[in-house]
Amino acid sequence: MKSRRGIIVATLFVSFVFLAALNALSNVGVRGVALDLTQDKTFTLSEGTFKTLREMQEPVTLRFFYSTKLGETVPTYGAYAARVRALLERYAALSRGKIRLEILNPAPFSEDEDRAVAFGVQAVPVDQSGEQVFFGLVGTNTVDESDKIAFFHPSREPFIEYDLTRLIRNLSNAKKKVVGIVTSLPLQGQFSPGGMQPPWPIYNEIGGVFETKMISDEKIPDDVDVLLIAHPAGLDDKVLFAIDQYVLRGGKAVVLVDPVPESAPRRRTMFGGGMVGPGSDLPKLFKQWGIELKAERVATDADRALRVNAAGEGGRAVAARYVAWLDLRAGTGPANNINRSDPVTAGLNQVIMASSGIIVAAKDATTKITPLLFTTATGSETDANKLRMQPDVLALLREYQPGKEQLSLAVRVTGKVKSAFPDGAPKPKEEPKKEEAKKDEPAKEGEKKDEPKKEEPKAPEALKESKGDIDVIVVADVDFLQEQFWAREQNFFGETVRIPYTGNADFLMFALDQLSGANALKGLRGKGIAARPFTKVEQMQADAEKRLRAQRADLEKRYKEIQDKLKDVRTKGSDGKIELTAEQQAAVVQFTRELLRIRREQRAVQFEARRDYEAMDRTLKLANIGAVPVVVGLIALVVGFVRYQRRRRRYETS
């Protein structure tokens, strides 16, 4: 018995020594090694981060201000701060000495607190006593430029790697890629009757990574790395020629056109905002690029329609699918709406598009056209005029007829093309000639004689065809840039925090990043935006709505027939009142019964859909609340029984 006890004690001692040695070894040799089992690799550093750290041109100092009092008071912040600190330490380790990390705990009335306030780190009250805590980051470079994350808001935890990498990239690389912007949208903000409107959030997103240059004339600067053309309404031939030559010379471009630009400024009327303005198109350039935007048509898809609040009968608000606002998802097979093989869209999970146009291949197109975003195989189209004023959401859903093919909403165009201006640059408009002063006539007193003009440098010879393959991305929508379709704002102690919930901004940023050759965002954005819908429930709802659409169509048809028949059976008496004979009254009763029967069938379809959904809900709840604990309990019983049998055999043999 004593020998057995000694063996147990020795085993415990050896196990303790082994665990201590293993822990010490892991801290020295494999520190920071972790296994990421998340579906979208949330905790794995992206290629864009490694690229940024490899290409750092100058050192950066990071000061991490974290008040431990915050973690002690709110444990969730403590766990979040531990992750931020571990990530910063890994950045510093991978930077090969280019990142100097300082961890500061700004206690009340300390120098560190003064430094945090001076750098603009946000202070947050932690309790009723008014004590303030800090949880932010400040980065500086060798030329005293600084950037900061004022506060690590928990809602932005999925985007922490993107925020950190962008901060380091902005400070360590002196030269950003240049995005030239041609647009008629008020991306930079505009004056309105209510005051100055701020810039669009998407414009701030672009400016956080790239240098932006607004282009309003016919010359595109030579240092532009990629051209963004957003809602090009009213461009003259000189600007079109400049774009044409830029693309032919090998310049990359992202073109956003829209048949129904809901986000464009509207003409105000005495009743408020007017109808949507005219759409945008570049038919002269598109023809040479081998594509065509369907004029006055908008893509619709009931299977991808976004749910909105619509005005029902009697003005009552009802939830309905708006077939012109599409919730595009990455999936498998027919359910997929996003090209996962193209580098621009490979990292996207969800994109929302509003009243998007349709892009088709032009006749005799010689370019390669790759769809990037597209509807399901039952996508259809409708007249753009139905959406320009106040669209009837319910009527569009009732009138929807499924199509038979996918409709392309965004495409990538590559290949050799010819110029849209084969005769060269457009000739300037002739201006009335001024009377030339006589050369020999002396200048009047106080008047300077015209000096001979200096010869302007000759413009480069116009290209007739592209030097190589062009690379252009064309999107048939501009409304997806609006904040309501990709982000939500939250107020956090006076600071506005923007939380993306779709990949709309990612789509544009990926396109600009990839075409400009920066590749700084590869794998960074979109990590925290994982659309994981209840696909089975959505399919059940879609099937039920298809049956309801058929029922509604039948109901309206029968209702119209009944109305016509009622008109036929009504007769007016001598006093002008409607009188019905016995046969006519019987017919009205019959028609009314038939109408009620159809309405009962419609309610039955709705009830069936709801019943199936509730049955699935009960099954899932039973599985999660009841079945899982039962399974765990059974496993515990089996393990306990096996251990009991082993102990029993051990005692019997001893």
pLDDT band at 563 (very low <50, low <70, confident <90, very high): low
Domain check: are 161 and 282 in the same one?
no
pLDDT band at 606 (very low <50, low <70, confident <90, very high): low
For Cα atoms 31, 32, 37, give the angle at the middle one, nearest 5 degrees.
Answer: 135
Q: State which of 2-6, 18-22, 26-30 shows the largest mean pLDDT.
A: 18-22
Q: Specify the pLDDT at position 21.
A: 74
Q: Is the pLDDT of residue 80 over 70?
A: yes
pLDDT band at 271 (very low <50, low <70, confident <90, very high): very low
Q: Is the pLDDT of residue 201 over 70?
A: yes
Domain check: are 490 and 634 in the same one?
no
Q: Is the pLDDT of residue 536 over 70?
A: no
**pLDDT (average), residues 538-547:** 64
Answer yes or no: is 293 within a domain: yes
Domain check: are 502 and 634 in the same one?
no
Q: How far is it, in rounded angstroms, from Cα 474 to Cα 494?
A: 39
Last residue in a domain, options 533, 552, 585: 533
Domain check: are 162 and 179 in the same one?
no
Q: Specify the pLDDT at position 618.
A: 74
Answer yes or no: is 327 within a domain: yes
Q: Is the pLDDT of residue 573 over 50?
A: no
Exposure string for 603-624, b = 16+ CB within 10 A, e = fewer: eebeeebeebbeeeeeeeeeee
* Beta pairing, strands 132-141 & 178-183: unpaired
Q: Is the pLDDT of residue 272 over 60?
A: no
Identify whether the C-beta of residue 320 lies closer than 8 Å to the C-beta of residue 388: no
The mean-pLDDT minimum among 43-47, 376-380, 393-397, 538-542 falls in: 538-542
Residue whose tokens read 């030559």: 245
When the pLDDT of each residue in the chain is averaged and rounded to a whole number, the result is 82
Model pTM score: 0.75
Looking at per-residue pLDDT, the higher value among 434 and 3 belongs to: 3
Q: Which of 197, 195, 193, 238 is nearest to 215 (CA)?
A: 238
Answer yes or no: is 435 within a domain: no
Answer yes or no: is 31 within a domain: no
pLDDT band at 59 (very low <50, low <70, confident <90, very high): very high
**pLDDT (average), residues 469-484:** 96
State the number of CA atoms in the 13 A half-sphere of 323 facing the CB: 31
Answer yes or no: is 9 within a domain: no
For 605, residues 6+ apart whose C-beta sits below 8 A from its C-beta are: 544, 547, 548, 551
Q: Specify the pLDDT at position 540.
A: 64
- The CATH code of the domain that includes 146 is 3.40.30.10
Q: Specify the pLDDT at position 44.
A: 80
Find the DSSP H helices in 249-362: 283-289
Domain check: are 411 and 330 in the same one?
yes
Q: Is the pLDDT of residue 459 over 80?
A: no
Answer yes or no: is 496 within a domain: yes
Domain check: are 71 and 185 in the same one?
no
Q: Is the pLDDT of residue 145 over 60?
A: yes
Q: How far is it, in rounded angstroms, from Cα 216 to Cα 578?
A: 69
Query: Secondary structure of 52-74 in the HEC alphabet?
Result: HHHCCCCCEEEEEEECHHHHHHC
Answer yes or no: is 440 within a domain: no
pLDDT band at 443 (very low <50, low <70, confident <90, very high): low
**pLDDT (average), residues 418-441:** 70
**pLDDT (average), residues 274-292:** 90
Domain check: are 45 and 106 in the same one?
yes
**pLDDT (average), residues 154-179:** 88
Answer yes or no: is 470 within a domain: yes
Last residue in a domain, options 131, 151, 171: 171
Looking at per-residue pLDDT, the higher value among 163 and 11 belongs to: 163
Q: Specify the pLDDT at position 532.
A: 57
- The CATH code of the domain that includes 256 is 3.40.50
pLDDT band at 270 (very low <50, low <70, confident <90, very high): very low
Handedness of CA 545, 546, 547, 552 (dihedral sign): positive
**pLDDT (average), residues 549-564:** 65
Q: Specify the pLDDT at position 552.
A: 62
DSSP string across 545-572: HHHHHHHHHHHHHHHHHHHHHHHHH-EE
Residues above pLDDT 90, as percent of the chain? 44
Domain check: are 179 and 203 in the same one?
yes
Domain check: are 256 and 107 in the same one?
no
Looking at per-residue pLDDT, the higher value among 615 and 555 belongs to: 615
Q: Specify the pLDDT at position 444.
A: 54
Q: Is the pLDDT of residue 268 over 70?
A: no
Exposure string for 307-327, b = 16+ CB within 10 A, e = fewer: eeebeeeeeeeeebbbbbbbb
Domain check: are 99 and 147 in the same one?
yes
Q: How far is it, in rounded angstroms, from Cα 590 to Cα 597?
A: 11
First CA to last CA distance, the chain = 10
Looking at per-residue pLDDT, the higher value among 317 and 105 belongs to: 105
Query: Secondary structure of 123-178 in the HEC alphabet?
Result: EEECCCCCCEEEEEEEEEECCCCEEEECCCCHHHHHHHHHHHHHHHHHHHCCCCCE
* pLDDT tens column, 224-249: 999 999 999 889 999 999 999 999 99
Domain check: are 95 and 120 in the same one?
yes
* pLDDT tens column, 99-136: 999 999 999 889 999 999 999 999 998 877 778 999 99
Identify whether the C-beta of residue 152 lies closer than 8 Å to the C-beta of residue 164: no
Q: Which domain range does residue 109 map to?
A: 38-171
Q: Specify the pLDDT at position 211.
A: 93
Identify whether the C-beta of residue 420 lies closer than 8 Å to the C-beta of residue 287: yes
Q: 166: which 2 tokens?
A: 């962008």
Q: 506: which 2 tokens?
A: 């990612």
User: How many domains does the structure of the chain reveal?
Assistant: 3
* pLDDT tens column, 218-229: 889 999 999 999
**pLDDT (average), residues 152-174:** 88
Last residue in a domain, options 171, 201, 230: 171
Q: Is the pLDDT of residue 519 over 80?
A: no
Domain check: are 321 and 345 in the same one?
yes
Q: Specify the pLDDT at position 212.
A: 95
pLDDT band at 632 (very low <50, low <70, confident <90, very high): confident
